[in-house]
């Protein structure tokens, strides 16, 4: 994939001196290639290495981590998240569960394991690569988050309440930007996530590689960055509040076949 | 009898699972932490935020009127002309920084206007959450009433529409009186690109 990607970039550069018509054609070709292959694949590969790497005081890998379908079962695990986990007695999304495994299996402290959960273009985070690796193994499977356990229903209701809750210096709720259809911030289109038709494509495509920042973005990052822009204090990584919002959005947009991790603008 | 018990029981389940506003605030008090200039006081709702949350931004007309009257009392209108410098106003309208945990507390804040509104037709990257304001002054004139309306609306948008999505930019301490005057100029000054 990355060879093809580099090839297209090279031919794009070459075409800079060619006729405008050719450049346009090359851009179309580039778009097509980008939709086929994504740098997300590099994160998946790195994630596989990290999944199998012995780490922490226990010096064990995450290969026995139970993401809901049994220890070490990755196929379809992401498509069934968030869900209730009996061993933790709470609802967890992918990243929260990965953190749980780092703490319980590898013996790492929450502080150490969450010190750098969101990376950047130069240095992606462990959590981002692991998310890419696990999510990729639900490709082609229907998104069916847990909805039967009372704590799953409670998480949905809490997420819904948070979605509408206005607070902070600028009086923002999620609905301030994601409350009406067809709205934009600058040129960025905003999905109205309380509507299944709009939530489905979001749920089916996150996490993803973001071209504009050359980094891999996850749902926990999305919650964190939205609250930053809402002028609110910071939600803790993997907290009930963030999991509840992710669960609410996932349940609203359930049922579509997972096609990520791919590219976003 | 069967129907009655169904009617009684069925709606109870979703209702029971719904957290009260107090529950939600407690979750936020526990799950959020202060960072940079964004202190935990921001988690606590004021009366207006509480009403708008509970009414999903559509409070009954009577209540909305009362809230708007209360918010109107918060606006401090400066004496004299409210028209500042539109060039400075354009920079403030373009600037989307301010009040975030990543923003330096002492630095001048932006108004984030283009995030939601079209203003100068020269700027093609504008949002659509708020109405287009292109040609605003050309349509409404730049007299004292228009100046007062625009100044007040930017200072505290909730005085005109209780559950507006627009921040209370003066009331919240985001913009200074001079910055708001500069934005008034951006909207009303006949020389401003907004009115070209």
Write down the ipTM of this complex.
Answer: 0.92
Minimum mean pLDDT among A26-30, A111-115, B48-52, B126-130: which range?
A26-30
Cβ of B31 and A186 within 8 Å? Answer: no
With 80 as the cut, is the pLDDT of residue A120 above it? yes
Cβ of A233 and B49 within 8 Å? Answer: no
CA A261 to chain centre: 8
Helix (H) or strand (E) holding B65: helix B61-72
A167 lies within 8 A of chain B by CB = yes
The band of A38, judged by pLDDT with boundaries at 50, 70 and 90, is confident
Indicate the average pLDDT of chain A: 91
Which residues of A have a catalytic role annotated?
226
The band of A37, judged by pLDDT with boundaries at 50, 70 and 90, is confident
Residue with tokens 């009954």: B60
Cβ of B19 and A171 within 8 Å? Answer: no
A265 lies within 8 A of chain B by CB = no
Helix (H) or strand (E) holding A253: none
Q: How many helices (H) and strands (E) does chain B have?
A: 10, 1
Chain A residues 189-248 with a CB less than 8 Å from chain B:
190, 227-229, 231-236, 239-242, 244
Structure tokens belonging to residue B56:
């999903």
CA dihedral B153→B155→B160→B163, nearest 10 degrees, is: 120
The model's pLDDT over A67-119, given as tens digits with 9 standing for 90+, comes to 999 999 999 999 999 999 999 999 999 999 999 999 999 999 999 999 999 99
Q: What is the Cα–Cα distance from A30 to B91, expressed in whole angstroms?
A: 36
Nearest to B126 among A166, A169, A186 (CB): A186
User: What does the pLDDT read at residue B17?
Assistant: 74
CA distances from A68 to A141, A243, B42 (A): 15, 15, 36
Asked if residues A26 and A12 have their Cβ atoms less than 8 Å apart, the reply is yes
User: What does the pLDDT read at residue A5?
Assistant: 46
CA distance B76 to chain A (A): 18
The model's pLDDT over B71-112, given as tens digits with 9 standing for 90+, comes to 999 999 999 999 999 999 999 999 999 999 999 998 999 999
Mutate to test the interface with A, among B48, B165, B166, B169 (most CBs of A within 10 A): B165
């Amino acid at each position: 994939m990355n060879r093809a990607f580099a090839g297209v970039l090279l031919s794009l550069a070459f075409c800079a001196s060619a006729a405008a018509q050719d450049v346009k054609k090359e851009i179309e070709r580039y778009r097509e290639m980008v939709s086929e292959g994504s740098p997300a694949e590099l994160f998946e590969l790195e994630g596989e290495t990290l999944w199998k790497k012995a780490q922490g005081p226990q010096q064990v890998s995450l290969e026995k981590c139970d993401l809901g379908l049994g220890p070490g079962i990755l196929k379809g695990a992401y498509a069934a998240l968030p869900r209730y986990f009996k061993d933790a007695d709470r609802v967890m999304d992918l990243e929260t569960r990965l953190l749980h495994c780092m703490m319980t299996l590898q013996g790492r402290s929450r502080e150490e394991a969450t010190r750098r959960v969101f990376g950047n273009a130069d240095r992606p985070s462990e959590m981002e690569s692991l998310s890419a690796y696990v999510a990729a193994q639900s490709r082609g499977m229907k998104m069916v988050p847990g909805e039967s356990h009372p704590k799953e229903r409670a998480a949905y209701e809490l997420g819904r309440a948070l979605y509408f809750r206005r607070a902070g210096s600028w009086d923002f709720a999620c609905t301030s930007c994601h409350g009406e259809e067809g709205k934009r911030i600058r040129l960025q289109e905003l999905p109205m996530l309380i509507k299944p038709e709009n939530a489905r494509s979001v749920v089916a495509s996150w996490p993803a590689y973001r071209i504009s920042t050359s980094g891999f973005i996850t749902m926990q990052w999305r919650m964190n960055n939205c609250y930053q822009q809402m002028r609110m204090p910071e939600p803790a990584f993997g907290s009930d509040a963030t999991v509840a919002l992710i669960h609410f959005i996932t349940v609203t947009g359930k049922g579509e076949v997972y096609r990520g991790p791919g590219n976003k603008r | 009898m069967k129907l009655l018990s169904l009617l009684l029981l069925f709606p109870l389940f979703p209702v029971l699972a719904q957290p009260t506003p107090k529950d939600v605030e407690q979750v936020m008090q526990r799950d959020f932490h202060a960072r940079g200039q964004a202190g935990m006081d921001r988690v606590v709702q004021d009366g207006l935020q509480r009403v708008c949350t509970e009414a999903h931004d559509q409070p009954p007309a009577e209540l909305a009127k009362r809230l708007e009257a209360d918010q109107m009392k918060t606006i401090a209108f400066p004496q004299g002309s409210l028209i500042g410098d539109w060039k400075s106003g354009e920079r403030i309208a373009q600037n989307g920084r301010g009040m975030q945990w990543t923003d330096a507390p002492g630095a001048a804040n932006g108004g984030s206007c283009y995030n939601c509104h079209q203003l100068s037709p020269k700027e093609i990257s504008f949002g659509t959450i708020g109405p287009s304001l292109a040609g605003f002054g050309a349509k409404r004139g730049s007299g004292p009433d228009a100046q007062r309306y625009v100044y007040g609306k930017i200072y505290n948008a909730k005085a005109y529409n209780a559950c507006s999505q627009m921040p209370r930019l003066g009331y919240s301490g985001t913009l200074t009186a001079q910055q708001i005057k500069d934005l008034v100029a951006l909207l009303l000054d006949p020389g401003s690109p907004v009115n070209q």
